[in-house]
Structure 1
Amino acid sequence: MNRATSVVILIVLAGLGMGTTYLVHHTSAPRIAAEQRLIDSRNLLDLLPPGSYDNQPLEQPLSLPSTRLANSTLLGGYLATKAGQPSAVLLRSQTLGYAGSIDVLIAIDVNGKLLGVKTLKQSETPGLGGKLADWPNTWLQVFTGKSLSEPGDNGWALKKDQGQFDQIAGATITSRAVINTLHDALRYFDEHRQPLTGSNPP
């Protein structure tokens, strides 16, 4: 076998190898992307009670414009359903904490009660306000089951502000910002319940 033939064979083999690699990547990319979406969905939606929905909420975004509320900005939302009926609304909100913006995902059931809260992004002080990113989060779990009327407008504040909630130790500004954001979200839900869920207050 002369040198020219060897070079041609090497080029053909390299081309076949590259073609096979491209084909494998091209055919597996959609499956990998779908699996990643499922993982992302589970990570975001683990604040919803198991069995409370049977759709893919992140694939059912609500038509919500970015809206400035009293203490936060509503960035968007999603609808969770079960057997075709609304079961929860997820609102993504942003507020300003001590060190920067804080993004949270807030789950509210159709009766206006908080199902859960999860921090999506924050840059608070590690060991203080940064504890907000922990999951599960003991401080955030305190708000589960609360609503606009329970504890009422005056109750939606820190105890040091004559409200009903403790703060994250050493993180007054962070705690106050999150409480105000949750209160904003509950007010927004109460005022827009029908367009959000397609149902009226019980």
Structure 2
Amino acid sequence: MNRNVGILILVFLAGLGGTATFFVQYVAAPRIAAEQRAIQNRNLLEMLPQGIYDNQPLDHPLSLTDVELGSSQLLGGYLATQSGQPSAVILRSQTTGYAGPIELLIGIGANGKLLGVKTLKQSETPGLGGKIAATPNPWLQSFSGKSRNDPPDSGWALKKDSGQFDQMAGATITSRSVISAIHDALRYFDEHQAQLTGKPAHD
């Protein structure tokens, strides 16, 4: 009899412990989700100059899924607005670097000019192509203000390839891939602005 009582007590305690664990996870889940969302928002906030939007871009995803471009692929995007008007689009782009995929966030203003580029994921060689993930990143910042046609198509290449851009030291393949991905994104925005923002091109 005592053994049965002991077993029942153990079962009861195990059940109580499981219930308590579930309750703690249930209560903590919203906070964890909120923290994850805050991290995602910070990634987006770093892309955009202060004062050009007043919405939460993550709440306004764009209908983009695996859009194949010339040298890259669009995995998704978000719309930033101010006073209800589109102010910027953030495109999530993936290209292939020297050691594997490179995932970028590319911010483009409603006027078609590049606002910023941020590396989300990469597996390039540390100290060489891996510098693409550095924050702040002077090389990526050098593209700000550029647009699909500024420079013209032929200029969207490394200087060693008769283009207009310097490369990251020791990272030719990484540099080429990122330049092509940025130009792809600007071209896509220029050709699909009405679809992305609901406004005609550069209105």
Rounded to whole Å, the distance in 2 between the matches of 1:6 and 1:117 is 63
Q: Deviations over 1:83-115 (max 9, x none)?
A: 211111111111111111111110000000001
With over 3 angstroms needed to count, the CA separation of the structure-2 counterparts of 1:10 and 1:94, relative to structure 1, is closer
Rounded to whole Å, the distance in 2 between the matches of 1:61 and 1:81 is 12
* Alignment size in residue pairs: 201
Which amino acid is 2:54 matched to? D
Partner of 1:128: 128
Root mean square deviation, CA, Å: 2.0
User: Alignment identity in percent?
Assistant: 67
1:155 aligns with 2:179: no
Scaled by the length of structure 2, what TM-score is found? 0.88
Mind listing any 5+ residue stretches in structure 2 that lack a counterpart?
none
Give the match's secondary structure for 1:178.
helix
Shift of 1:14: 5.9
Which amino acid is 1:59 matched to? D
With over 3 angstroms needed to count, the CA separation of the structure-2 counterparts of 1:15 and 1:100, relative to structure 1, is closer
Shift of 1:24: 3.0
Partner of 2:61: 61
1:50 aligns with 2:42: no
Scaled by the length of structure 1, what TM-score is found? 0.89
Shift of 1:173: 1.0
Give the match's secondary structure for 2:168.
coil
Partner of 1:111: 111
Rounded to whole Å, the distance in 2 between the matches of 1:110 and 1:59 is 18
Which amino acid is 1:100 matched to? G
Rounded to whole Å, the distance in 1 between the matches of 2:130 and 2:77 is 24
Give the match's secondary structure for 1:192.
helix
Which amino acid is 1:58 matched to? L
